[in-house]
Structure formats: C-alpha cells, structure tokens
C-alpha cells in the first residue's frame, strides 16, 4: 500500500488574507516541505536557516514572510534579498512581484552588477519597499549613500554558500554593517560548509534550522558512472554520451572556467548547439546564453557550479559530470537539475583513478556502491548530432522602446506563412527582445521582423549564433 503525505495548506498559516487570496488565485494550495517547516517560524518573527535544493520552494517561503512583514504605507526599504548572481536575483524579484499582486503599490527594485548604474540611481531616488540584488552592487550603492537600510525589518541571504564561494565576504560585511541591529534574518543555502557556520554566528540571533532533503527520488534519476583512463579520454567519452542519449537539453558540469570553455569549444566544432556559462563571460553573453537554453535554442549548456545557479529550465534530460564534483553535496545538487516534476532524468559521471577519493566520499554520502558502466561503443559515432529545435532572434529594442511580447508575436503572425505554434518563448528586456522560432522558419521570421514594423517603427534583428 502506498501512503501519500500531503503537506498542509497555506490557509493554515497566519499569512495576511490578501496574500492567501492571491496564492489561491495562482493555484498554490499546499505548501512544499520547506515552506511547511520554515514559513510558520518566519511568520512568528524568528531567524531561520533553511537548507534545501533548488526547486524546493524556498523563494516563496521567504518572499511570503517578508511581504507579510511589510508596511506598504511606509515607502522605505523594509526588506533586502541578497543573491549570488544577477540571474537568480531577477528570478527572485519576479517571484516576489507575483506573490505581491494583491497588495497595491508595492515597489520591488533589483540592484545587480552588469546592469547600467544610471537607471538604478534614478529608481533609488524614487524609493522602494523591497530590494533584491547582488552583493557587490548593493555594497556600492550603500557606500555612496544612495541606498538606506534604516527601516529594514527583513534581511535575506539566498544561496549563501555560493556567495561565499564567489568571494563576497567583504561585501556582505559592509551590507550587514548598514543594517539595523533589530531585524529578522533568513538564510537559505543548498549546502552548509564551515564558512556558513561562521556567517550564521555573525549575522543571526538564535536561529531555527530547517533541513529538507532533495525533492528528487532516486527512482526519477538514473545514475551512470563511467571509468576513463585519463583526462585525454574525457572529450570522446562526453561525445559518446551525447550521441547515445540524444538529449533535447543537457547540462555538462565542469570544475573550472577554463575547462568549461574548452569543452564548449570542442562540442561546437563537432556540430552541437552548445554554449558555455561561467564567471569570465560578460553579463550580456550570460543573459543570451540563458535565454537560448531556456527557449530550446541550445541543446547543451556547459557550466561551472556557481554559474549554473539561476538556470531556470523546466526540464533537463541529461546531466553530465565532466569531473566528479569536489563535494558530494554539490554532486547531488548537480544531478537534481534533471528528473524534476515526476519526469525521468539521466545523470552520467566520468571518473578516473585519480578521483578515487572523491568517488569514495560520494559512496559514503549516497550510501551506495558505485559500479562503473560501460561507455557506448564506437557505433554511436554514426548517430546524428542532436540539433536544437529552435533558433533565437535578437531584436534591438525592448521595454524602453515600449515593445511587448504581443507586439513581436503579432508582427510574426502577420506573415501568412508563419503560424503561432512555430513561435516559442518571447523575452523582453530593457534594451533588447528575444524570440525563439522553429529552425525551419528562422530565415523567414528574421526577414519578417527586419522588413516589418512594430510600434510604427523598424527594428534591427539577427539570429544569435555561438
């Protein structure tokens, strides 16, 4: 007999009625495990440490807490959420705005590096209730007196482990110094290294700790480990796995930025629709890469662990660990990218004799014996390279030019030869817009945008290539 454990409903909490009504309208009825454990504590005003993987629902947990704390009539910064990357900060801001829909006149402001400073300064002058951003940029605004945290009541550190890995200790120190002593502190982290313990002692007051295991059951992820003789054998092994499994979307994890770029370059030469994601990329290139992977214009994304935070993709077919991760918790976090929402996923790990100590640590952590699988035979080289079904067009105009997704969709479908179901995701940013179109109509779609008009004017457009 199978027993189904049902998490409690949001209505069992002390959330404000308008937040509960909005949750119901969004179809959010029952809480995830981390929400059920953390939200009641947050609503009583306690400092809370939440440990859970990506996809556990932690963003909604702390977002609902800080929204419940908000006094809308006080047009001052009352909540600050610090994230390791711009991509994650953008995702968090979108989630907060969605959960705050029923509360009028709430302003959420993002302050991230890689974005122009001028508009941020202007927005700060107009004020905000909630600030979401990256440590370096928040620190800069604080030091120059543009941002005041005098009325802050909720301070959130999201994915704190990655912020420390990325070397943001000094920036965090500065931010904490500018916070009032009396405040609620919420810290969320996928892993819990020693540095986090030190941060907790410095930042938090008698915190309650909530730990949630990965959402992914072993049954939803098929794990394979492949023994290779040396580093020189890794590129061919990776090629074989991609040709064998033919994924629509795959993430290849590398331990270093240089390795990440080399692997991406090798796969590109072999004809894969691939791009890299690591810390040495300019922000505009990171943004384009994430858009392309999310809208199915890339089949393979080669990423470092830090850069992969912020990937917002519904389903990844295959995860490949090009090297075994240094930390078993990181390994679990990596493979948790696949096998989500009840779908099946595949995780493949390449391992050499020199990595025996990491394999042993992984066996202890996962409580299993790792038996090497056999790599696919050379026969797979006759398989076709899996191609991405979509191509992304970049349009040199965005929100500043008053463009909306509907304008782009309308311009494309005005051409009788283009059907709406041939058009994928549309993303409009401040200065540029991106639209995914089926590969076979990419040329036609490009000409339609370039030669037509939107909002009464012409816009330049181009295909995004590697």
Write b or e for each residue in 419-443: b if 16 or more Cβ atoms lie within 10 A of its Cβ, otherwise e: eeebbbebbbbeebbbbbbbbebbe
| 3 part of a folded domain | no
Considering the domain architecture, whether residues 371 and 429 belong to the same structural domain is answered as: no
Considering the domain architecture, whether residues 435 and 303 belong to the same structural domain is answered as: no
Give the CATH number of the domain where residue 447 resides.
3.30.70.330
Tens digit of each residue's pLDDT (9 = 90 or more) over 396-431: 999 999 998 889 998 998 898 998 889 998 999 888
User: What does the pLDDT average to over 69-82?
Assistant: 93
Tens digit of each residue's pLDDT (9 = 90 or more) over 95-122: 999 999 988 889 999 999 878 899 999 9
5 — pLDDT class (breaks 50, 70, 90)? very low
Considering the domain architecture, whether residues 362 and 250 belong to the same structural domain is answered as: yes
User: Residue 309: what pLDDT?
Assistant: 67
| 362 part of a folded domain | yes
Distance from chain centroid for Cα 189: 14
459, 455, 458, 396: which is closest to 428 by C-alpha? 396
| 2 part of a folded domain | no
Retrieve residue 459's tokens. Answer: 């816009």
Which of 357, 382, 407 lies at the terminal end of a domain, its last residue? 382
Determine the Cα–Cα distance for residues 181 and 124; give it in Å rounded to an integer: 23
Number of domains observed in the structure of the chain = 3
459, 191, 241, 202: which is closest to 350 by C-alpha? 241
Considering the domain architecture, whether residues 274 and 204 belong to the same structural domain is answered as: no
- Above 80 in pLDDT, residue 314? no
Retrieve residue 317's tokens. Answer: 């077919």
Q: Please enumerate in sequence order all residues whose Cβ is within 8 A of that of 134, keeping only pairs 6 or more positions apart, or say none.
A: 82, 83, 84, 85, 86, 89, 111, 112, 113
CA-to-CA dists, residue 12 to 7, 31, 39, 223, 350, angstroms? 11, 10, 11, 38, 46
User: Residue 60: what pLDDT?
Assistant: 93
Retrieve residue 287's tokens. Answer: 């943004």
Give the CATH number of the domain where residue 191 resides.
3.40.50.300
Considering the domain architecture, whether residues 106 and 151 belong to the same structural domain is answered as: yes
Determine the Cα–Cα distance for residues 107 and 117; give it in Å rounded to an integer: 18
| 4 part of a folded domain | no
6 — pLDDT class (breaks 50, 70, 90)? low
Place of tokens 């994430």: 290
User: What does the pLDDT average to over 165-172?
Assistant: 84
Determine the Cα–Cα distance for residues 85 and 135; give it in Å rounded to an integer: 9
Determine the Cα–Cα distance for residues 380 and 384; give it in Å rounded to an integer: 9
User: Residue 419: what pLDDT?
Assistant: 86
7 — pLDDT class (breaks 50, 70, 90)? confident
Considering the domain architecture, whether residues 76 and 200 belong to the same structural domain is answered as: yes
3 — pLDDT class (breaks 50, 70, 90)? very low
Which of 382, 405, 438 lies at the terminal end of a domain, its last residue? 382
Which of 348, 382, 416 lies at the terminal end of a domain, its last residue? 382
Considering the domain architecture, whether residues 354 and 411 belong to the same structural domain is answered as: no
User: Residue 286: what pLDDT?
Assistant: 85
User: Residue 48: what pLDDT?
Assistant: 96
Per-residue three-class SS string for the chain: CCCCCCCCEHHHCCCCHHHHHHHHHCCCCECCHHHHHHHHHHHCCCCEEEECCCCCCHHHHHHHHHHHHCCCCCCCCCEEEECCCHHHHHHHHHHHHHHCCCCCCCCEEEECCCCCHHHHHHHHHHCCCEEEECHHHHHHHHHCCCCCCCCCCEEEEECHHHHHHCCCHHHHHHHHHCCCCCCEEEEEECCCCHHHHHHHHHHCCCCEEEECCCCCCHHHEEEEEEECCCHHHHHHHHHHHHHHHCCCCEEEECCCHHHHHHHHHHHHHCCCCEEEECCCCCHHHHHHHHHHHHCCCCCEEEECHHHHCCCCCCCECEEEECCCCCCHHHHHHHHCCECCCCCCEEEEEEECHHHHHHHHHHHHHHCCCCCCECCCCHHHHHCCCCCCCEEEEEECCCHHHCCCHHHHHHHHHCCCCCCHHHEEEEEECCCCEEEEEEHHHHHHHHHHHHHCCECCECCCEEECCC
| 64 part of a folded domain | yes
Considering the domain architecture, whether residues 336 and 425 belong to the same structural domain is answered as: no
User: What does the pLDDT average to over 171-190?
Assistant: 93
| 5 part of a folded domain | no
| 247 part of a folded domain | yes
Strand order in the sheet with 184-189: 108-111, 130-133, 79-82, 154-158, 184-189, 48-51, 208-211
User: Residue 215: what pLDDT?
Assistant: 46
Tens digit of each residue's pLDDT (9 = 90 or more) over 258-307: 999 999 999 999 999 999 988 888 878 888 898 999 899 999 999 988 77
| 276 part of a folded domain | yes
Determine the Cα–Cα distance for residues 223 and 298; give it in Å rounded to an integer: 23
Considering the domain architecture, whether residues 289 and 312 belong to the same structural domain is answered as: yes
User: Residue 43: what pLDDT?
Assistant: 96
First to last CA, the chain: 52
Considering the domain architecture, whether residues 54 and 184 belong to the same structural domain is answered as: yes
CB 99 within 8 A of CB 64: yes
Domain range for 311: 218-382
Determine the Cα–Cα distance for residues 16 and 315; give it in Å rounded to an integer: 33
Determine the Cα–Cα distance for residues 225 and 242; give it in Å rounded to an integer: 15
CB 210 within 8 A of CB 38: yes
| Mean pLDDT rounded to a whole number for the chain | 89
390-395 and 345-351 strand pairing = unpaired
Considering the domain architecture, whether residues 182 and 248 belong to the same structural domain is answered as: no
Considering the domain architecture, whether residues 140 and 37 belong to the same structural domain is answered as: yes
2 — pLDDT class (breaks 50, 70, 90)? very low
390-395 and 461-463 strand pairing = antiparallel
């Amino acid at each position: 007999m199978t027993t189904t454990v049902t998490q409690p409903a949001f209505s069992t909490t002390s959330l404000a009625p308008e937040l509960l009504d909005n949750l119901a309208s969004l179809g959010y009825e029952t809480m995830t495990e981390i929400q059920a454990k953390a939200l009641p504590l947050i609503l009583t005003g306690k400092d809370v440490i939440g440990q859970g993987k990506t996809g556990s629902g932690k963003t909604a947990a702390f977002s609902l807490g800080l929204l419940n704390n908000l006094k809308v009539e006080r047009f001052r910064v009352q909540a600050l959420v610090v994230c390791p990357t711009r991509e994650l900060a953008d995702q968090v801001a979108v989630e907060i705005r969605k959960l705050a829909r029923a509360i009028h006149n709430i302003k959420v402001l993002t302050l991230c590096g890689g974005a122009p400073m001028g508009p941020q300064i202007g927005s700060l002058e107009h004020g905000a209730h909630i600030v979401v951003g990256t440590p370096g940029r928040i620190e800069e605004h604080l030091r120059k007196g543009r941002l005041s945290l005098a009325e802050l009541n909720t301070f959130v550190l999201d994915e704190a482990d990655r912020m420390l890995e990325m070397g943001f200790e000094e920036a965090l120190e500065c931010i904490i110094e500018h916070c009032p002593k009396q405040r609620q502190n919420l810290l969320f982290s996928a892993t819990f290294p020693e540095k986090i313990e030190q941060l907790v002692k410095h930042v938090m007051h008698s915190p309650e700790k909530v730990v949630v295991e990965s959402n992914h059951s072993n049954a939803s992820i098929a794990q394979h480990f492949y023994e290779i003789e040396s580093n020189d054998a890794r590129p061919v092994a990776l090629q074989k796995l991609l040709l064998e499994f033919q994924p629509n979307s795959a993430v290849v994890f590398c331990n270093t930025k240089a390795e990440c770029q080399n692997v991406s370059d090798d796969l590109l030469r072999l004809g894969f629709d691939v791009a890299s994601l690591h810390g040495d990329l300019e922000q505009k290139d990171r943004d384009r890469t994430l858009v392309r992977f999310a809208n199915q214009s890339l089949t393979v994304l080669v990423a470092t662990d830090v850069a992969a935070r912020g990937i917002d993709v519904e389903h990844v077919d295959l995860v490949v660990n090009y090297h075994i991760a240094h930390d078993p918790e990181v390994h679990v976090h990596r493979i948790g990218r696949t096998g989500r929402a009840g779908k099946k996923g595949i995780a493949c790990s390449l391992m050499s004799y020199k990595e025996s100590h990491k394999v042993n640590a992984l066996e202890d952590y996962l409580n299993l014996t790792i038996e090497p699988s056999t790599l696919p035979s050379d026969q797979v080289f006759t398989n076709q390279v899996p191609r991405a079904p979509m191509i992304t067009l970049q349009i040199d105009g965005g929100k500043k030019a008053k463009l909306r997704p509907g304008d782009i969709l309308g311009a494309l479908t005005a051409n009788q030869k283009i059907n709406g179901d041939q058009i994928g995701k549309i993303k409009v940013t401040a200065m540029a817009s991106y639209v995914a179109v089926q590969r076979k109509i990419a040329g036609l779609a490009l000409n339609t945008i370039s030669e037509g008009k939107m909002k009464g004017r012409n816009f330049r457009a181009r295909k995004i290539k590697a």
